[in-house]
C-alpha cells in the first residue's frame, strides 16, 4: 500500500478505438446497452439498440468519427490524457491521476486494476460532467463503485459530483466566451447535450417536460434535474457575461429521437436565421472537453447548414479542455472532496 497516496480517476464518455465500422459498433453497443443511457426494460432495450439504433446509426457515426479523427486520435481521448498529465503536475507526488472512460478505451475497469495493483489509501472518482444525469455522473459513479467492489479494492472512496454551479467553473466558461468580441454576434446559443424527455420526467414525476418550471428558476426538485441545471448553468454564465435574456437561447443537441428535450439547437439556429441573425456564438457547457458533439456537430454540421441557408457564421466557443484554469479547478475539487 502506498501510504498516504491518493488515486484520482478522471471519467468521461469515451470514444471508439478507431473510426471504423467494427470499432464504432463495439463502442455504441457498450454505450447504448447501458441501462442508465437507454432506460428501457431489458428486452425492449436490446431490441431497440441492437436491432434498430446501431444498425441504422453505425455507418453514419463512423463517417462522423472519420471526419473528427486526427493524427493524435479522438480529441476527447487525447485532451483527457493531456489533462491527466497537467493535473498530475498540479497535484504533485502525493497523488496519481488516471483516465478511465465509461465506454471504450482507456477504460475505467483497466484504470481500477492499475489502481489496485499499485495500492492506494484513497480513490477520488471524478466524472467530468458539469450537470448530473443518470447517463452522466450517475452511470460513471455506479459503474466505478461496482468495479471497485468486484476487484476487492480496499480504499476510501471519494466522489466529485456535478459542478455546474461552482463559481470558478462558471467563470472559466465565461472567460472562454470572452475570447470573442460578443458584440460581433447577433445572438448567443447555449447548446446542451440532449436527453430523452422520459429521463427528465423521472426528476419531476407526473409533470411533463412541456409543463415543468425547470426553465425559469432552479425548482425544489431541481438540484439533480439535468433540464433545470442546464438552464441554471446558462443563467450563471449569462450573468457573468452581462447578457440580457433576449441576447441568448438555451437549446439541446444530439437527439436520438424527437421525444428529447427541446428546443433543438438546429431548430433555434433556423429560427434565428429567419429573424435575420446571421452571426451566432455557441457555448456548450455540458461538455468540459471538445469532442464529436462540439467540434463536428456544432462547429461543422450546424455551421455548414447555417451558411448554406444564408447565415454568416456559427462560432463554437472552445471548451475548457486542458486550460490552466480548468486544471486548477479540478485540483481544488479533488482536494476539497478529500477534506469534506
Ligand X SMILES: C=CC1=C(C)c2cc3[nH]c(cc4nc(cc5[nH]c(cc1n2)c(C)c5CCC(=O)O)C(CCC(=O)O)=C4C)c(C)c3C=C
Annotated binding site for Fe(2+): 193, 293
Q: Which string of x and - marks every residue 21-40 that binds ligand X (by CB under 6 A)?
A: -------x--------x---
Is position 134 an interface residue for Fe ion (rule: CB under 5 A)? Answer: no
Is position 68 an interface residue for Fe ion (rule: CB under 5 A)? Answer: no
Is position 196 an interface residue for ligand X (rule: CB under 6 A)? Answer: yes
> How many Å apart are CA 166 and CA 110, to the nearest integer?
30
Is position 132 an interface residue for Fe ion (rule: CB under 5 A)? Answer: no
3-state helix/strand/coil string of 58-124:
HHHHHHHHHHHCECCECHHHHHHHHHHHHHHHHHCCCEEEEECECCCCCEHHHHHHHHHHHCEEEEE
Q: Which residue is it, cell 491518493? A: 6
> How many Å apart are CA 300 and CA 314, to the nearest integer?
9
Q: Report 197-256 residues binding ligand X (CB under 6 A).
A: 254, 256
Using CB distances below 5 to 8 A depending on partner kind, what does residue 124 bind out of Fe ion, ligand X, none?
A: none
Using CB distances below 5 to 8 A depending on partner kind, what does residue 227 bind out of Fe ion, ligand X, none?
A: Fe ion
Is position 99 an interface residue for Fe ion (rule: CB under 5 A)? Answer: no
Q: Report 210-269 residues binding Fe ion (CB under 5 A).
A: 212, 214, 227
Q: Which residue is it, cell 498530475? A: 88
Q: Report 162-221 residues binding Fe ion (CB under 5 A).
A: 212, 214
Using CB distances below 5 to 8 A depending on partner kind, what does residue 240 bind out of Fe ion, ligand X, none?
A: none
In this structure, what DSSP letter does residue 196 have?
B
Residue (of 66, 52, 73) closest to 24 by Cα position = 66
* Between 68 and 329, CB nearer to ligand X: 68
> How many Å apart are CA 290 and CA 53, to the nearest integer?
24
* Between 38 and 214, CB nearer to Fe ion: 214
Q: Please count the residues of this chain forming the interface with Fe ion, following the rule CB under 5 A.
A: 3
* Terminal Cα-to-Cα distance of the chain (whole angstroms): 23
Amino acid at each position: 500500500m502506498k501510504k498516504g497516496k491518493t488515486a484520482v480517476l478522471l471519467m468521461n464518455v469515451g470514444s471508439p478505438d478507431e473510426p471504423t465500422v467494427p470499432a464504432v459498433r463495439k463502442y455504441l453497443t457498450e454505450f447504448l446497452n447501458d441501462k442508465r443511457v437507454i432506460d428501457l426494460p431489458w428486452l425492449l432495450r436490446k431490441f431497440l439498440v441492437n436491432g434498430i439504433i446501431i444498425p441504422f446509426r453505425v455507418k453514419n457515426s463512423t463517417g462522423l468519427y472519420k471526419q473528427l479523427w486526427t493524427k493524435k486520435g479522438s480529441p476527447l481521448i487525447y485532451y483527457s490524457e493531456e489533462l491527466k498529465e497537467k493535473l498530475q503536475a498540479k497535484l504533485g507526488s502525493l497523488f496519481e491521476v488516471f483516465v478511465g472512460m465509461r465506454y471504450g478505451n482507456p477504460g475505467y475497469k483497466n484504470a481500477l486494476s492499475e489502481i489496485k495493483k499499485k495500492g492506494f489509501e484513497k480513490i477520488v472518482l471524478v466524472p467530468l460532467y458539469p450537470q448530473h444525469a443518470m447517463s452522466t455522473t450517475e452511470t460513471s459513479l455506479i459503474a466505478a463503485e461496482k468495479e471497485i467492489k468486484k476487484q476487492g479494492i480496499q480504499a476510501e472512496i471519494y466522489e466529485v459530483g456535478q459542478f455546474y454551479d461552482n463559481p470558478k467553473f462558471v467563470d472559466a466558461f465565461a472567460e472562454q466566451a470572452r475570447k470573442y468580441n460578443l458584440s460581433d454576434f447577433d445572438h448567443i446559443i447555449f447548446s446542451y447535450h440532449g436527453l430523452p424527455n422520459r429521463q427528465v420526467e423521472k426528476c419531476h414525476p407526473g409533470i411533463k417536460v412541456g409543463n415543468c418550471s425547470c426553465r425559469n428558476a432552479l425548482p425544489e426538485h431541481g438540484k439533480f434535474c439535468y433540464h433545470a441545471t442546464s438552464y441554471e448553468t446558462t443563467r450563471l454564465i449569462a450573468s457573468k457575461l452581462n447578457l440580457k435574456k433576449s441576447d441568448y437561447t438555451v437549446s439541446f443537441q444530439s437527439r436520438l429521437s424527437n421525444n428529447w428535450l427541446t428546443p433543438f439547437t438546429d431548430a433555434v439556429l433556423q429560427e434565428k436565421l429567419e429573424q435575420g441573425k446571421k452571426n451566432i456564438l455557441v457555448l456548450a457547457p455540458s461538455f468540459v472537453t471538445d469532442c464529436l458533439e462540439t467540434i463536428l456537430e456544432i462547429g461543422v454540421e450546424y455551421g455548414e447548414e447555417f451558411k448554406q441557408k444564408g447565415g454568416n457564421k456559427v462560432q463554437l466557443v472552445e471548451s475548457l479542455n486542458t486550460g490552466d484554469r480548468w486544471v486548477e479547478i479540478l485540483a481544488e475539487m479533488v482536494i476539497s472532496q478529500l477534506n469534506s
